[in-house]
Amino acid sequence: MKARLVIICIFLLIASGTVLLNSCHKTPLSYYRPTPINFITPSGFPIPVYNFQNNPITEESFLLGRKLFYDGRLSLDGHFPCSSCHQQVAAFTTYEHDRSHGYNNSHTLRNAPGLANLAWYPVYKWDGSASNLEDISLAHITAPNEMAESMNGIIAKLKYDTAYQRMFQAAYGAPEVTQVGILKALSQFVINLVSSNSKYDKVKRGEASFSTQEQNGYTIFQNKCNSCHTEPLFTDFSFRNVGFEIEPFLKDFGRMRVTGDPKDSLKFRVPSLRNVDFTSYYLHDGRLSAMRMMLEHYRNGITSSPTLDPLLSNGITLTDTEENDIIAFLRTLSDSSFINNPRYREP
């Protein structure tokens, strides 16, 4: 009888030990339960063109991307995180700078575009040279005049960081810091930067009303600007020559650098006007510091060239009052909740 009890006890000990070992072995996978984020299209917006199936967004990957976005270790000397050129206070462009600063006292070629509503962009960058967000992040990280780092260098700096190990585990099911994981997480953060709560949006939703001047400006805008800056995203994503002379030092010919076609000379993407009051300086090289300067250009400063957009062959006729009214309307595109959203801030 005693022998039988001993055998039973031994069997139970072995069985419980096996269960314990198995449970320990399965622990890393047991807490890999990423939380899907339901990307919500704002009222009045078209369907996004971004392919969410290629990079399904989750809360864990979004948080990882946010941490990476603000981490200086993604640059060679630690001083140039993504957020150094894309600052939330300026709707994720560079605050009151013409062109951004980079590694070793360098300047970038172009004015950093604001990061908002990227899910609706068919291509990216001023010249349309990037077709996906991962390529953009990699290009900025490795550019010698921007972040000047390599992916191997970043991985070497982050792989022993226990906070990153936990976040990679939560986002991707393994603690290893990888290039694919870094680029996908950065994409998930920026694709979630949606701006859709300006006064203009509230008016469209019936929650606010334009002032008389704003309404006058909106009417003028619809008649004279809306063909390129199409609502509700305030860009048609086309590439156009709007009559600026080539900057003699930068010699940036825009879209022609991508296509090699002289017909694309001096053509740049039509920028979105959302948050335009926050995103000075303006134009692809930031040569204009104020919205009024841009309107004055369309009134009196257009330079003719073979690729000038036909819509601007005679400029845009505006009175001083109409110019003031348009500026009043453009300020209704400012989304203060976007630039103050705690979810987008540095963690």
Tokens 């600052």 belong to 87
Q: What is the mean pLDDT of residues 257-277?
A: 97
pLDDT value of position 12 = 44
> d(Cα 288, Cα 294) in Å, to the nearest integer?
7
Q: Is 82 annotated as a binding residue?
A: yes
Domain with CATH 1.10.760.10 in the chain: 52-195, 199-338
pLDDT value of position 266 = 97
> d(Cα 260, Cα 228) in Å, to the nearest integer?
24
Q: What is the mean pLDDT of residues 31-54?
A: 93
Half-sphere exposure of 289 (CA within 13 A, CB side): 2
Q: How confident is the model at residue 7 (pLDDT cuts 50, 70, 90)?
A: very low
Cβ contact 92:120 at 8 Å: no
CATH T-level topology, domain 199-338:
Cytochrome Bc1 Complex; Chain D, domain 2 (1.10.760)
Q: How confident is the model at residue 31 (pLDDT cuts 50, 70, 90)?
A: low
Is 1 a residue whose pLDDT tops 70? no
Q: Which tens digit of pLDDT belongs to each residue from 194-234?
A: 999 999 999 999 999 999 999 999 999 999 999 999 999 99
Closest CA to 127 of 250, 274, 284: 284
* 6 or 293, which is more confident: 293
3-state secondary structure of 308: strand
Q: Is 9 annotated as a binding residue?
A: no
For 290, the token pair is 């104020």
End-to-end CA distance of the chain: 64
Beta bridge partners of 87: 93
Pick the CATH number of 52-195 from 1.10.760.10, 1.10.150.120, 6.10.140.120, 3.90.580.10: 1.10.760.10
For 279, the token pair is 């995103």
| DSSP letter, residue 249 | T
Is 6 a residue whose pLDDT tops 50? no
pTM for the full model?
Answer: 0.88
Cβ contact 74:154 at 8 Å: yes
Is 30 a residue whose pLDDT tops 70? no
| CB neighbourhood size of 273 (10 A) | 22
Q: Is 229 annotated as a binding residue?
A: yes
Burial of 106 (0-12, 13-18, 19+ CB in 10 A): middle
pLDDT value of position 24 = 39
**Secondary structure of 86-152 in HEC code, one letter for each residue:** CEHHHCCECCCCCCCEEHHHEECCCCCCCCCCHHHCCCECCCCCECCHHHHHHHHHHCCCCCCCCHH
Our measurement of the distance from residue 89's CA atom to the centroid of its chain's CA atoms, rounded to an integer in Å, reads: 14
Residue 345: phi and psi, rounded to 5, are -75, 165
> d(Cα 186, Cα 261) in Å, to the nearest integer?
33
pLDDT value of position 32 = 79
> d(Cα 180, Cα 196) in Å, to the nearest integer?
30
Q: Which tens digit of pLDDT belongs to each residue from 52-84?
A: 999 999 999 999 999 999 999 999 999 999 999
> d(Cα 269, Cα 235) in Å, to the nearest integer?
9
- Any alpha helices (H) in 225-266, and if so which ranges? 256-259
Closest CA to 54 of 211, 187, 244, 205: 187
Position 123, amino acid: V
Q: Which tens digit of pLDDT belongs to each residue from 274-312?
A: 999 999 999 999 999 999 999 999 999 999 999 999 999
Give the chain's mean pLDDT.
Answer: 92
Q: Is 225 annotated as a binding residue?
A: yes
Cβ contact 110:249 at 8 Å: no
